[in-house]
């Protein structure tokens, strides 16, 4: 990974995470259910599940940093999958990678809720629906932001293919 690719992956991951968070908050507004991922994660990290103002800044900071960190990890995993040729930087593949990420996120969150000493009292059905939709948006945003700001990236699998094709062509001559 070149420094440029790393920076572009970070930018696309941050953009995807912000967009995903907005979708979770929009879902909360429309459904009137608590799906505010930063607040929920922050309260679970800090152990302050109360609804009052006490520790609000600490919860928001912990939740924001935690969510952003996980978003960047997902974006870096996407970059690795591109490099391994698992999927392409395209609209359809970005949808599927978002859906797969959403499924993984639901499993991880379900485990986190089950293992946490004092999980928040939320509607899991609504939270997981919002989480799945938001991850599809995350995948589409992250992959396509990378595609838009990258000037025709050449990934390892493409370079290896070119080398193989070049070697094959030389043998045929």
Is 90 exceeded by the pLDDT of residue 171? no
pLDDT number for residue 167: 47
Is 90 exceeded by the pLDDT of residue 8? no
- Residue 93 domain boundaries: 3-172
Is 70 exceeded by the pLDDT of residue 70? yes
Rounded CA separation 130/125 (Å): 9
Is 50 exceeded by the pLDDT of residue 63? yes
CB-based contact 35:23 (threshold 8 Å): no
**Which pLDDT tens digit goes with each residue over 9-32?**
899 999 999 999 999 999 999 999
**What is the arithmetic mean of pLDDT over 102-108?**
97
Which residue in this structure is represented by tokens 């103002």?
A: 53
Cβ neighbours for 93, distance < 8 A, ≥ 6 positions apart: 87, 143
Rounded CA separation 7/145 (Å): 12
Is 80 exceeded by the pLDDT of residue 123? yes
Which residue in this structure is represented by tokens 């639901």?
A: 106
Query: If you write DSSP's letter for every residue of 17-55 in order, what string do you get?
Result: HHHHHHHHHHHHHHHTS---HHHHHHHHHHT---SSSTT
Is 60 exceeded by the pLDDT of residue 157? no
Per the structure, the count of domains in the chain is: 1
Which residue in this structure is represented by tokens 């992959």?
A: 143
Q: What SS3 class is residue 99? A: helix
CB-based contact 30:5 (threshold 8 Å): no
pLDDT level of residue 2 (50, 70, 90 thresholds): confident
pLDDT level of residue 166 (50, 70, 90 thresholds): low
pLDDT number for residue 24: 97
Q: Is 82 exposed, middle or buried (0-12, 13-18, 19+ CB in 10 A)?
A: buried
Q: What percent of the chain has pLDDT over 90?
A: 60
Average pLDDT of the chain is 86
């Amino acid at each position: 990974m070149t420094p440029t690719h790393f920076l572009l992956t970070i930018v696309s991951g941050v953009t995807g995470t912000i967009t995903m968070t907005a979708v979770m908050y929009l879902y909360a507004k429309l459904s009137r259910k608590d799906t505010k991922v930063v607040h929920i994660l922050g309260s679970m990290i800090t152990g302050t599940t109360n609804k009052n103002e006490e520790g609000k800044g600490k919860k928001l900071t912990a939740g924001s940093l935690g969510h952003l960190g996980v978003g960047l990890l997902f974006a870096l995993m996407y970059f690795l999958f591109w490099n391994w040729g698992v999927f392409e930087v395209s609209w359809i593949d970005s949808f599927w990678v978002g859906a797969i990420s959403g499924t993984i996120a639901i499993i991880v969150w379900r485990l986190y809720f089950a293992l946490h000493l004092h999980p928040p009292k939320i509607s899991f059905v609504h939270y997981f629906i919002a989480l799945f939709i938001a991850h599809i948006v995350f995948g589409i945003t992250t992959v396509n932001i990378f595609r838009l700001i990258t000037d025709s990236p050449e990934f390892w699998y493409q370079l290896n293919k070119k080398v193989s094709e070049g070697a094959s062509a030389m043998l045929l001559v």
